[in-house]
Structure 1
Amino acid sequence: MLPEFIDDLGHGIYAIDTGFQRPRFDAAFLIVENCRAAFIDTGTNHAVPRLLAALTALGLTPEAVDWVIPTHVHLDHAGGVGLLMQSLPNARALVHPRGLRHMVDPKALWLGALAVYGDAEMQRSYGRLVPVPAERAEASHDGQVITLAGRPLLLIDAPGHARHHHVIWDPLSRGWFTGDSFGLSYREFDVDGRPWVLPTTTPVQFEPEALKATVMRMLGYEPLRMYLTHYAAIGGSEDEVRRHAGELLLQVEEVTALATSLRDAPDRHERLKAGLMASYLAGLARRGWAGDPAQAREWLATDAELNAQGLEVWLDRPAR
């Protein structure tokens, strides 16, 4: 029996709860094929013991890991890459070309997050970032195919959430490892097994048109499931994935319209944050979620805050 922090998703794919923020909020994925393994996203430094424990639970050694692939370099996805790599002697890190330098020298990542959160919170949530040796890291490219014990994995450029984002297609499961490019879906809000999906517009590179193009490009592969870092697998059929995509893109239109309507409001941030929260609660009510609204507000407060910040960066970007 697997530990409770590991979910077997089939096709040799496992979601590992990294323990970040709250249970089943942040996933790292482990793909196993013919006794070889690859991690997609790692969570933070604090997740590394769980990731190594997952290998042991599945009868694998650290030497069996060939690839560590962060979808992008935001710290809840990639903060643990350097520390994890220290325990994986045969692994190579495969990183989007816009994010590679931040894995080799994470100083800018650290300082940027430090300015937002402060040192105490950085240590509590993320731990000191560890660089990846340059000789063990490489940049991905659009259309790249790598293999894991003969199992092909396709990487494509996936801007919209961040310009340093790629997504990974697994033909065996007909699923995409989407990072944050297919939004968020928290298991607490499932209704009769039906997930609720919402877009993430966190700072600083949210671009709605690029995000729409990324989602449509992924749909072109006729996926059956999407593997979301926040959290785990959604879908089950092509029609279900397309339905989630439609809901996601409609919400992108709604939140960008809300932001545009508040562009010159003197209390823009607070009104935008309140508008986002109202939209989230209304969406849950339409789906028949019958939980405590106060609890929903608590779970979604960070998303409302960060998504408001990201929308404001988008509003104020001169090139827009």
Structure 2
Amino acid sequence: MHAGEFEPVRGVPDLYVHDTGMFDTDEYGSVYVYDAAEPVVIDTGTGANREALFETLDEIGIGRDELAWILPTHAHLDHAGGAGHLAKRYPEAEVLVPERGVRHLVDPEALVAGTKSAVEDQWRYYDDPEPIPEARITGLADGDRVDLGDRSLVVHEAPGHAPHHAVYHDPDADVVFTADAAGIYVPEVDTVRQTTPPPQFDLDQCLRDLQTIADLEPEYLCFGHFGPREYDDALIGEAKRAYVEWVEAVRAKRSELDDETVVERFESSSTDVEFWNPERARADASLNTRGVLTYLDRVEE
């Protein structure tokens, strides 16, 4: 699948995955569209390539007055940056996001500033988010259900990646929309890479979030990056090891070098350049390293 394209999610009726082409990398940004009785868009991309998503919704047959829900998994702008643009185009849709993310989408100024600081020159792949009117957005809590008419999505808080992060579970189809809670799926090697951005990554909570997903015993995982995959316990085990080993690798390197040199070392040695855009691979390595350094500062205080 290439940027701007969409396809059905095999094994899950009425569910489609749209490739935003985020960061000029095929399949890096996955948006999910459930053509349910009350249709929903799950995650929205950065908003930069929103016209292609609008076209996907048109082709699926969801009209401007028919989209019921816009459902970011969290407020990070690679997942929620397009929410306000969608809300503007689809006037009947209500935006739902974990409660701690509401303020960021109503007034995204601080979120934009933080994102620009974190991603630096990669901001060119983003678009300025459209603020969402307070009357159009509702906060979600753990255990809430989103009614899609013929099915529902259950909210499970997953704050290890960020305090405003959740995963959504469709118990009827046995699918979990993991966003970043299960890491980044790498189809080429059928494994998972950690995602540990600053400033609020928490290793222990990430491991608990992974266990939350495992305890749901789904049949399918819909990752926020690189699309869906059938579930198996081994993949969750690999994710747990990836997170623990990554934190320990950064901790060990920090014992030898100053923090900026640590970041530079992991940027230059990233193996993810083999699987996606080298620029993005290095940017991911920088973000992930800085996130762990911030986490280590916090737990060592």
The TM-score normalised by the length of structure 2 is 0.90
Partner of 1:288: none
2:254 is paired with a residue whose SS is coil
Partner of 2:170: 170
**Structure 1 runs of 4+ with >4 Å offset:** 275-278, 292-299
Q: How does 1:69-148 map to 2 (within 5 A)?
A: 69-117=71-119, 122=123, 124-148=124-148
Partner of 1:312: 293
Q: Say if 1:168 and 1:257 are closer, same or farther in 2 by CA, change over 3 A.
A: same
1 CA distance for matches of 2:101 and 2:241?
Answer: 29
Match of 2:246 among 255, 268, 271: 255
How many residue pairs are counted as aligned between the two chains? 297
Contact 1:180-1:228 at 8 Å conserved across structures: yes
What is the one-letter code of the residue matched to 2:211? Answer: M
Deviation larger for 269-278 or 81-90? 269-278
Partner of 1:32: 35
1:317 is paired with a residue whose SS is helix
1:23 equivalenced with 2:4 (yes/no) = no
How far off is 1:110 after superposition? 1.5
Partner of 2:179: 179
Partner of 1:60: 62
How far off is 1:24 after superposition? 0.9
What is the one-letter code of the residue matched to 2:102? Answer: L
Partner of 2:265: 274
Deviation larger for 42-51 or 71-80? 42-51
Please tell me the root mean square deviation across aligned C-alpha atoms, in Å. Answer: 2.5
What is the one-letter code of the residue matched to 1:23? Answer: D
Contact 2:182-2:223 at 8 Å conserved across structures: yes
2:68 is paired with a residue whose SS is strand
Cα-to-partner distance string for 1:155-195 (whole Å, 9 max, x where unaligned): 011111111101100113211111100000133x24xxxx1
How far off is 1:196 after superposition? 1.7
Structure 1, unaligned runs of 5 or more? 285-291
Structure 2, unaligned runs of 5 or more? none
2 CA distance for matches of 1:294 and 1:220?
Answer: 30
Partner of 1:225: 220
Q: Say if 1:318 and 1:253 are closer, same or farther in 2 by CA, change over 3 A.
A: closer
Partner of 2:157: 157
Q: Say if 1:313 and 1:30 are closer, same or farther in 2 by CA, change over 3 A.
A: same
2 CA distance for matches of 1:25 and 1:7?
Answer: 15
